């Protein structure tokens, strides 16, 4: 059996329609993780879809409660292990089987979130891109390799969580508690998008994220704008001016301590040729938005951003002639390695007080803060993965030091101390958190080929790379 024959085998598997049928079954599970109504389906996904599949491959499987959940039904985790030889290299891989809400009524006519529908190259369904399609690719590639070789040539541990779309509550605590069982030499997983549908991609970490609320409460209730206009402070006006002291009209952050310490040359070099917003379905980039002097790729992969995600004052649906007594906004800071992440809330508070906005309350939101991570682009595992993808596809992969979005990579890179490689199987216009989420069949096919090559090469060269890093 050769590497190319293994790739040919997984190609035949895809073209037979077997992968489509597999993903159809998984999409049909309503595994929404944001509300208790969806909790029963979370365990069902693990029991009906993951465990039988993994057991066929010789994995031992155990569903474990989430140590960060009060409800025993909430966000369970699956730990599966296939140990061929304790002396061989060990891979930890990860995925999440939970999805965001279906928003059933908002999908295009003829589409349903829980029914996989094929329209040309578009495969529609909730979870096709995030993340059922992606971890299904990786597990199918492992299974194909096992079928054709009779062994993998390395050990594998699989961690499936069911709360990622709820902010991965309890995941880091779980990794702390089960650190010995999760011990490995390398982490490879898939989530997030490629830089473009036609660009195989490797990223090494992710930006961190912090969600917070700013609130101004001047008084109880609202008061008539004719009788009291010009006499009472307007909470919304105060809030908007407070925000504009932090971010200018072109999206530039005005608080130096909320910025990273630098943009390393290695990061600039890695993203130099990364296309951003070049896809056919991508939105048009806003000219001159964000930090001046940076390229679009440097802004999204190498810098910090501060955004308003929602704001509220008065009654937006039916405005009244009244001065709102309270106004609030929900903000988010995305940040890279080298930022003062542990001080962000204090920095915002100190800035607002210094600028005369001591009436603005700053509080973290209920979303778990995700830390920024980035594997060194010169790490031997990076060169190995880039070479593997090139050998399979014939084209260099796009190397991103860290994803522009946020993932719970800190649990693997920091808590478990692993070198982390992410090979995404989606693309930027997949609509992953909204109606009409989809993946591309062509990308799924190529991704199965890529991952088969990666796993083949891990068996062949993994021990050597491990020794190079020691």
Measure the CA–CA gap between 76 and 74, rounded to whole angstroms.
6
pLDDT (tens digit per residue) in 363-394: 999 777 889 999 998 899 999 999 999 999 99
Block residue for tokens 């920024």: 372
Instruction: Assign domain 209-272+287-364 one CATH number from 3.30.70.360, 2.60.40.10, 3.40.50.11310, 3.30.479.30.
Output: 3.30.70.360
- Residue 230 gets the label, from left (phi > 0), alpha (psi -120 to 50) or beta, of left
pLDDT of residue 466 exceeding 80, the answer is: yes
- Mean pLDDT on 216-229: 96
- Mean pLDDT on 62-79: 95
Give the per-residue pLDDT at 103.
94
Give the per-residue pLDDT at 282.
77
- Residue bearing the bigger pLDDT, 385 or 265: 385
Q: Confidence class of residue 283 from pLDDT cuts 50, 70 and 90?
A: confident
Give the per-residue pLDDT at 428.
87
pLDDT of residue 449 exceeding 80, the answer is: yes
Q: What is the dihedral of CA 67, 68, 70, 73, to 10 degrees?
A: -70
Residue 31 · residue 50 · CB < 8 Å: no
Residue 98 · residue 31 · CB < 8 Å: yes
Give the per-residue pLDDT at 368.
75
DSSP string, 400-413: ESSBSS--TTHIII
Domain ranges across the chain? 3-206+372-469, 209-272+287-364
Give the per-residue pLDDT at 410.
95
Measure the CA–CA gap between 390 and 204, rounded to whole angstroms.
17
- Mean pLDDT on 442-453: 98
Residue 322 · residue 222 · CB < 8 Å: yes
- Which of 342-351, 361-370, 458-467 bottoms out in mean pLDDT, i.e. has the lowest? 361-370
Secondary structure in 3-state letters for 161-204? ECCHHHCCCCHHHHHHHCCCCCCCCEEEECCCECCECCECEEEC
Q: Confidence class of residue 315 from pLDDT cuts 50, 70 and 90?
A: very high
Instruction: Assign domain 3-206+372-469 one CATH number from 3.40.50.970, 3.20.20.70, 3.40.630.10, 3.30.420.250.
Output: 3.40.630.10
Give the per-residue pLDDT at 459.
97
Block residue for tokens 């004052």: 313
pLDDT of residue 470 exceeding 90, the answer is: no
Percent of the chain with pLDDT over 70: 100
- Mean pLDDT on 207-216: 96
- Residue 34 gets the label, from left (phi > 0), alpha (psi -120 to 50) or beta, of alpha
pTM of the model as a whole: 0.88
Give the per-residue pLDDT at 366.
74
3-state helix, strand, coil in the chain (%, to 5): 35, 20, 45
Give the per-residue pLDDT at 439.
98
Mean pLDDT of the chain: 96
> Where does 229-321 show beta strands of DSSP type E?
305-313
Give the per-residue pLDDT at 443.
98
Q: Confidence class of residue 313 from pLDDT cuts 50, 70 and 90?
A: very high
Give the per-residue pLDDT at 278.
75
Measure the CA–CA gap between 241 and 255, rounded to whole angstroms.
14
Q: Which of 379, 418, 375 is nearest to 400 (CA)?
A: 375
């Amino acid at each position: 059996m050769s590497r190319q024959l293994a790739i040919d085998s997984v190609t035949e598997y895809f073209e037979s329609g077997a992968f489509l049928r597999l993903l159809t079954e998984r999409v049909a599970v309503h595994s929404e993780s944001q509300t208790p109504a969806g909790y029963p389906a979370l365990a069902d996904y693990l029991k009906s879809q993951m465990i039988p599949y993994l057991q066929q491959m010789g994995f031992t499987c155990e569903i474990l409660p989430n140590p960060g959940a009060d409800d025993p039904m909430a966000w369970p985790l699956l730990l599966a292990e296939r140990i061929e030889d304790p002396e061989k290299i060990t891979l930890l891989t990860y995925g999440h089987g939970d999805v965001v809400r279906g928003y059933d009524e908002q999908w295009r006519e003829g589409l349903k979130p829980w029914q996989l529908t094929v329209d040309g190259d578009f495969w529609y369904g909730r979870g096709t891109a995030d993340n059922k399609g992606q971890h299904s690719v990786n597990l199918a590639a492992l299974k194909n390799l096992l079928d054709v070789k009779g062994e993998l040539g390395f050990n594998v541990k699989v961690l499936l969580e069911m709360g990622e779309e709820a902010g991965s509550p309890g995941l880091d605590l779980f990794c702390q508690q089960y650190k010995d069982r999760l011990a490995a030499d390398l982490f490879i997983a898939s989530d997030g998008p490629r830089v473009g549908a036609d660009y195989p991609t490797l990223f090494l970490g992710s930006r961190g994220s912090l969600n917070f609320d700013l609130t101004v409460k001047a008084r109880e209730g609202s008061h008539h704008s004719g009788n009291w206009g010009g006499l009472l402070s307007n909470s919304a006006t105060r809030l908007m001016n407070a925000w504009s002291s932090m971010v200018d009209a072109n999206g530039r952050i005005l608080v130096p301590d909320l910025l990273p310490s630098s943009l390393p040359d290695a990061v600039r070099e890695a993203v130099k040729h990364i296309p951003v917003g070049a896809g056919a379905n991508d939105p048009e980039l806003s000219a001159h938005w964000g930090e001046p002097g940076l390229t679009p790729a440097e802004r999204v992969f190498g810098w910090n951003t501060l955004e308003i995600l929602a704001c509220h004052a008065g009654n937006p649906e039916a405005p009244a002639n009244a001065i709102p007594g309270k106004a609030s906004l929900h903000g988010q800071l995305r940040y890279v390695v080298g930022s003062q992440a542990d001080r962000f809330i204090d920095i915002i508070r100190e800035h607002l007080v210094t600028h005369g906005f001591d009436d603005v309350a700053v509080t973290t939101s209920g979303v778990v803060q995700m830390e920024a991570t980035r594997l060194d682009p010169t790490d031997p595992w990076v060169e190995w993965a880039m070479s593997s993808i090139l050998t399979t596809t014939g084209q260099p992969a796009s190397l991103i030091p860290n994803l522009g979005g946020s993932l719970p990579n800190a649990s693997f890179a920091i808590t478990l101390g692993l070198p982390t490689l992410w090979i995404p199987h989606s693309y930027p216009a997949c609509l992953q958190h909204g109606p009409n989420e989809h993946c591309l069949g062509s990308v799924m096919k190529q991704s199965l080929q890529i991952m088969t090559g990666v796993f083949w090469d891990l068996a062949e060269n993994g021990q050597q790379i491990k020794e190079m890093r020691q």
